[in-house]
Amino acid sequence: MSGVSEKYMYRCIDLALLGKGFVAPNPMVGAVLVHGDRIIGEGWHRVYGGPHAEVDCINSVADADRALIPQSVLYVSLEPCAHYGKTPPCSDLIIRNRIPVVVIGCRDPFAQVDGKGIEKLQKAGIEVICGMLEGKCIALNQRFFTFHLKQRPYIILKWAQTADGYMAGTETDRLLISNSLTNRIVHRWRSEEAAILVGSRTAELDDPALTNRYAAGNSPVRMVLDRQLKLPASLKLFNREQRTIVLNNLVEREETGLSYYRLKPAPGIVEQIAEACCQLQLTSLIVEGGSTLLQQFIKQGIWDEARIITNEQLVIGKGLKAPQLTDAWLESEEKSLSDRIRCYRPAEQKQNRP
């Protein structure tokens, strides 16, 4: 069909991003309904369990414009669903509203959808155009695609280091590396992910809350690797203000705000953590330390981003060395007062950039 325009798919992507931090484990999706060259409806998936983008879009059409729906083009960043989940199939809603043309950014990798929504629309006589800004629409939902295609969460490695490459000093007192502005950026990162993980040594020495206190959005599920259950119950991780999952080798049980997930007493801890996240429907994970745990993810090549904060004014001379990235490329960097924040990607991703 002539007359379709990428500018409306860009608008879908912008709308979808409004759901960031609120819709996981669902994907972020935006939708725009266009009559001629005028947008008559738009919407996005706002919250997990709530109406999907297509529903929000169609519901937004003013009464005066509703007669135009059967003469309009629907743009949506991800393939409309064709199954009953927490909401009815969006493909059925599109068919009922007699929308003649649907432009889709990319197919949905979720097995219950993957191509079925497109097929259902086509069988109803609707013209379907798929693949508009496909790379950008896939990149929008890297977490969702990684979860369904690789059967693991999207994994972000994050640490702060001194100018001379140390994560901690030689004393037991916690070394404050990042400045207050950077800390607010870190809390925004937390609001965008499903879970956050630390090792037992970091939990005991730093006693972190691992919550989002400075940004809009949710706090991630807290995870701690404590194989022998030796951590004291007085730690902030166990205050039950936010759900905590204890990865261990001894027990599996549920308590209010606290879950014990039993790992196998075998090598492959990184793979087991990834498998646990899949079973718990946690589509993304920030690994915040310590150095040994971070290095294990790097060694196994199981990571998608590394966000490294370097305080360029802090030199301590000795202490605990920060992890060393291998086979990585620098995607971006920004300055945050005394800190420099660099984002790295695995080398294999560079050739697949959208």
Residue 200 belongs to domain with CATH number: 3.40.430.10
> Given pLDDT bands bounded at 50, 70 and 90, which one contains residue 1?
very low
> How many domains does the chain fold into?
2
Percent of the chain whose pLDDT exceeds 90: 86
- Please report the pLDDT score of residue 349 as a whole number: 79
Query: Domain range spanning residue 62?
Result: 6-142
What mean pLDDT is predicted for residues 124-139? 97
Shared domain check, 173 and 53: no
What mean pLDDT is predicted for residues 79-99? 89
- Please report the pLDDT score of residue 351 as a whole number: 56
- Please report the pLDDT score of residue 216 as a whole number: 83
Is 210 labelled a binding residue? Answer: yes
What mean pLDDT is predicted for residues 285-301? 96
What mean pLDDT is predicted for residues 287-303? 96
HEC assignment per residue over the chain? CCCCCHHHHHHHHHHHHHHCCCCCCCCCCEEEEEECCEEEEEEECCCCCCCCHHHHHHHCCCHHHHHHHHHCEEEEEECCCCCCCCCCCHHHHHHHCCCCEEEEEECCCCCCCCCHHHHHHHHCCCEEEECCCHHHHHHHCHHHHHHHHCCCCEEEEEEEEECCCEEECCCCCCCCCCCHHHHHHHHHHHHCCCEEEEEHHHHHHHCCCCCCCCCCCCCCEEEEECCCCCCCCCCHHHCCCCCEEEEECCCCEEECCEEEEECCCCCCHHHHHHHHHHHCCCCEEEECCCHHHHHHHHHHCCCCEEEEEEECCCCCCCCEECCCCCCEEEEEEEEECCEEEEEEEEHHHHCCCC
Shared domain check, 263 and 169: yes
What mean pLDDT is predicted for residues 119-128? 96
Residue 238, pLDDT above cutoff 80: yes
Shared domain check, 238 and 111: no
- Please report the pLDDT score of residue 225 as a whole number: 98
Is 213 labelled a binding residue? Answer: yes
- Please report the pLDDT score of residue 172 as a whole number: 66
Percent of the chain whose pLDDT exceeds 70: 97
Shared domain check, 168 and 134: no
Q: Does the annotation count 54 as an active-site position?
A: yes
Q: Which tens digits make up the pLDDT trace of 59-80? A: 999 999 999 999 999 999 999 9
Is 12 labelled a binding residue? Answer: no
What mean pLDDT is predicted for residues 84-110? 92
- Please report the pLDDT score of residue 161 as a whole number: 97
What mean pLDDT is predicted for residues 137-155? 96
Q: Which pTM value belongs to this model?
A: 0.90
More confident residue, 201 or 4: 201
Mean pLDDT of the chain: 94
Shared domain check, 94 and 173: no
Looking at 120, 142, 164, which one is the last position of a domain? 142
Q: Report yes or no on 1 lying in a domain.
A: no
Shared domain check, 265 and 226: yes
Is 206 labelled a binding residue? Answer: yes
Q: Which tens digits make up the pLDDT trace of 167-209? A: 998 876 678 999 999 999 999 999 999 999 999 999 999 999 9
Is 237 labelled a binding residue? Answer: no
**Active-site option among 54, 192, 193, 305:** 54
